[in-house]
């Protein structure tokens, strides 16, 4: 199993604030695991006993409603920590985490994280900054949901995915989402999302190859009103 102190993934998250000794200790009790596309990492209501450090892949955090929709609130990619919010508030999770492609994660037990939060103020502060950032993102999403049209939200989502998660060599978005996933990010019906995507295609903003989407005019997408 890999050693945390040598793992480059930690550069992208709060674990970088830990000392070498702390990392060695964590390395000794972490569990490395592989998760297949579509698998649920944790469910809504589940009590988390640690955090996941995402070494590879991407997952969605979403909440199911009675009517069968599940709203995607956030996507967590390679390099980020998963489950830190629930761990810290010591409540059960309010969201479900589902792998969007094959993933590789390390599970770090709660006791280790809490010990380091107590001892290492740099680590605490780094987690605090992460959370502050997530909170800003969430507040911005609330505003978008309230004030922007489905068309605008979908355009922004495509631009966000392109900017944040990148593209394949052929130019298609590297994160492969179903039309339903797009609808669940934007907060609309699947048919509405499909309709808007078709329109973007007609307007030359995107092109599609099967379910793969290629952004043809990123600036144009960002200008969508």
Partner DNA sequence: AATAAATCATGACAAATATCATATTTATAA
Partner DNA sequence: TTATAAATATGATATTTGTCATGATTTATT
Of 56, 43, 49, the residue nearest 107 (C-alpha): 49
Give the Cα separation of 32 and 65 in Å (integer).
32
Beta carbon of residue 171, minimum distance to DNA (angstroms, whole number): 17
Give the Cα separation of 199 and 72 in Å (integer).
23
Per rule CB under 7 A, is residue 208 in the interface with DNA?
yes
Report the residue number, 123 or 200, with the smaller CB distance to a second copy. 123
Per rule CB under 7 A, is residue 151 in the interface with DNA?
yes
Among 192, 216, 217, 222, binds DNA (CB under 7 A): 192
Among 77, 197, 215, 221, binds DNA (CB under 7 A): 197
Give the Cα separation of 42 and 33 in Å (integer).
14
Burial zone of 147 (CB within 10 Å; 0-12 exposed, 13-18 middle, 19+ buried): exposed
Residue 150 touches which of a second copy, DNA, none (Cβ within 5-8 Å per kind): DNA
Q: Which residues contact 121 (CB under 8 A, 6 or more apart)?
A: none
Per rule CB under 7 A, is residue 150 in the interface with DNA?
yes
Beta carbon of residue 116, minimum distance to DNA (angstroms, whole number): 40
Binding site for DNA (CB under 7 A): 67, 149-151, 178-180, 187-192, 194-195, 197-198, 208, 210-211
């Amino acid at each position: 199993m890999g050693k945390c102190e040598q793992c480059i993934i930690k550069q992208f998250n709060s674990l970088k604030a830990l000392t070498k000794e702390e990392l060695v200790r964590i390395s000794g009790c972490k569990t490395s695991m592989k998760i297949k596309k579509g698998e649920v990492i944790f469910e809504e209501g589940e009590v988390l006993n640690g955090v996941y450090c995402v070494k590879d892949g991407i997952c969605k955090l979403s909440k199911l409603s009675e009517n069968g929709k599940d709203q995607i609130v956030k996507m967590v990619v390679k390099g980020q920590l998963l489950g830190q919010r629930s761990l810290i508030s010591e409540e059960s999770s309010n969201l479900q985490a589902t792998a969007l492609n094959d993933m590789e994660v390390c599970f770090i037990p709660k006791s280790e994280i809490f010990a380091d939060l107590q001892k290492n103020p740099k680590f605490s502060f780094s987690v605090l900054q992460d959370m502050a950032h997530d909170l800003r993102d969430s507040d911005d999403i609330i505003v978008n949901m309230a004030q922007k049209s489905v068309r605008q939200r979908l355009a922004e989502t495509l631009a966000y995915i392109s900017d944040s998660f990148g593209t394949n060599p052929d130019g298609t978005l590297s994160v492969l989402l179903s039309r339903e996933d797009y609808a669940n990010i934007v907060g609309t019906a699947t048919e509405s999302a499909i309709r808007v995507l078709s329109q973007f295609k007609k307007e030359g903003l995107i092109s599609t190859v099967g379910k793969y989407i290629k952004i043809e005019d990123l600036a144009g997408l960002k200008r969508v009103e």
